[in-house]
Amino acid sequence: MKIIDHTLTVSEKIPTFPGSPKPHFIEWETIAKDGYNLELLFLSSHTGTHIDAPFHFVKNGKKIHEILPERLVNEATLIKIKKKANQPILKTDIQKFEKKHGQIKPGTAVVFWTGWQKNLAEEFYFSKNPGLAVSAAKYLVSKKINLVAIDSPSIDLGSDLKFPVHHILAKNNILIVENLANLEKINSDKFHLITSPLKFCLLYTSPSPRDATLSGLASWG
């Protein structure tokens, strides 16, 4: 069994959403002074790889601490479909995949590899990313999936600031995971996915800063 880490490493140099602060790590206590090391962390909850709870876009939606743990361990389907800047993943793209690989099962996770992660250091990474078309989002809702994930910073197109896909998925209680890394290391279209967000009370999203041993996201075949 091969376990793959799909989280971006969070450092003070990691690219962040426009308008969001850069992470800042503050040395609070040290071995030399206190007998142990301890840091304070300052960062946006959308830093790096993260999960969006429905409350992100729905007033009465579930928040991070209200997500049942069984929803975070999933059978998953990987759909590899390379997309360019602001190019949507269509309903027909998903249906073509199903014709070749079989139907997506209810209650599972669907993960999209678009190849966009290679642009992480570019200025346009957050503004021109590929994402789901509305038709694709509605189709996934009809499949009654549990979670959808993508290797770009948003499940919506970078050019669409009305976030229609977020709204559609959140209203239907579908979890969203964004900014996944290392999806190219998965060599099968079926695998198991574990998502382990920090259990913050009242938050709508939770980061996955694995290097800080706070939470993470991993898969195995």
Distance CA 179, CA 158 (A): 13
Structure confidence at residue 219 (pLDDT):
64
What percentage of the chain carries pLDDT values higher than 90? 82
Structure confidence at residue 207 (pLDDT):
64
Structure confidence at residue 214 (pLDDT):
33
End-to-end CA distance of the chain: 7
Q: What is the pTM of this model?
A: 0.91
Residues 6 or more apart whose Cβ sits within 8 Å of residue 125: 15, 116, 119, 153
Structure confidence at residue 45 (pLDDT):
87
Q: One-letter amino acid identity for 117?
A: Q
Query: pLDDT tens for residues 114-148?
Result: 999 999 999 999 999 999 999 999 999 999 999 99
Per-residue pLDDT of the chain (221 residues; tens, 9 = 90+): 789 999 999 999 999 999 999 999 999 999 999 999 999 999 988 899 999 999 999 988 999 999 999 999 999 999 999 999 999 999 999 999 999 999 999 999 999 999 999 999 999 999 999 999 999 999 999 999 999 999 999 999 999 999 999 999 999 999 999 999 999 999 999 999 999 888 887 666 666 533 222 345 666 66
DSSP state of 189: S
Structure confidence at residue 203 (pLDDT):
63
Domain ranges of the chain: 46-220
Structure confidence at residue 215 (pLDDT):
41
Q: One-letter amino acid identity for 137?
A: A
If one looks up domain 46-220 in CATH, what number appears? 3.50.30.50
Average pLDDT in the chain: 91
Residues 6 or more apart whose Cβ sits within 8 Å of residue 197: 50, 51, 64, 67, 72, 206, 207, 208, 215
Structure confidence at residue 200 (pLDDT):
83
Strands (E), 6-47: 24-29, 38-42
